[in-house]
Amino acid sequence: MNTTATRVNTQPSELLSHSLVTRTANRFGVDPGKFISTLKATCFRVKDGEVSNEQMLALLVVAEQYKLNPFTREIFAFPDKQNGIVPVVSVDGWARIINENDELNGFEFVYAPKLDQIDDDAKPCPAWCEVHIFRRDREHPIVVREYLDEVYRPAFWVTPKTGGEKYKVKGPWQTHTKRFLRHKTMIQGSRLAFGFAGIYDQDEAERIIEGQTIEQEPAKILAAPVVPEALPVVTTGTNDVSAAKPDTNLISEQQAKILRKLCEQSVKEFGLGEVDLCKHFHMDKLEQLKLRDYMLAVDLLSRAPVSDAAQS
């Protein structure tokens, strides 16, 4: 299931003159030089290392093929273990490429008649969901059914790196169980109806990356970071912050600006803002965030709403 990156010369000067980069930058009215650096900083989920030019161009190839906008988060990518990428299309991106297909003649959802509760953390939800997709050039609709027990992702427990008690991390499958079952059904149905290939939703991409981690690094299995039900204060058993060993490996000014922008959006949509993020990571300002926690912070702000406990 892994995708491979398009191979091109990696010299920056030649990358700037690459027709795909120039064409895409012109499409959005952005200077090609700034376009490259901005994409690398915002459209890749990277915890360690740098994004290669080949990986960036691979993302642009997919974005152009499906006419997706990386700046509005319709598409982004996870680098994989083979120096390629796993292209991720957001729910908004999937909805757009489905609705813009000329052969689409509507679709509807059908749900199981009874609500089940798959575990104590999830909300009551139908055991299955069907999507019926109608094409203008087909006599019968394409019908796809997805079952909750096959796509559901349970919550998991996390121990803070700085010490303290474990807390349970609940993601969108717990806070919006029915909605995410519908999303999965819509995406799988669109694949069969329109032949979309080489793109994934974020849940699938994380499973792919986790599978590579299990296969190649059995001692370092990483759980996919999702939004906790409530952001707890990370404690170390002492109020003396200066007692901790200093760490100068902090995020850059550009990364702090990106987080601050995400905070502004998140506080409007979910009530989770800069103050909450700083409290969670036990810091006074965003610029004190450690580089190793950067992608976790991005996920906390952008992936799903949090509970009322985190908004109070």
pLDDT in the model for residue 299: 66
pLDDT in the model for residue 38: 82
Judge whether 76 and 58 are in contact, CB under 8 Å.
no
Judge whether 293 and 281 are in contact, CB under 8 Å.
yes
pLDDT in the model for residue 244: 42
Classified as helix, coil or strand, 282 is coil
pLDDT in the model for residue 159: 81
Residue 125 burial by Cβ neighbours in a 10 Å radius (0-12, 13-18, 19+): buried
pLDDT in the model for residue 255: 74
Mean pLDDT by 10 residues, the chain (312 residues): 37 55 84 80 71 81 90 85 82 94 96 94 96 96 95 87 82 93 96 91 82 41 37 41 50 78 76 81 85 70 45 36
pLDDT in the model for residue 270: 67
Rounded to two decimals, what is the model's pTM?
0.60
CA atoms within 13 A on the CB side of 241: 8
Judge whether 189 and 52 are in contact, CB under 8 Å.
no
pLDDT in the model for residue 219: 32
Query: Distance between CA atoms of 259 and 293, rounded to whole angstroms?
Result: 12
Tokens of 277: 């993020």
Query: Distance between CA atoms of 287 and 223, rounded to whole angstroms?
Result: 25
Q: Where are the domains of the chain?
A: 94-200, 248-312
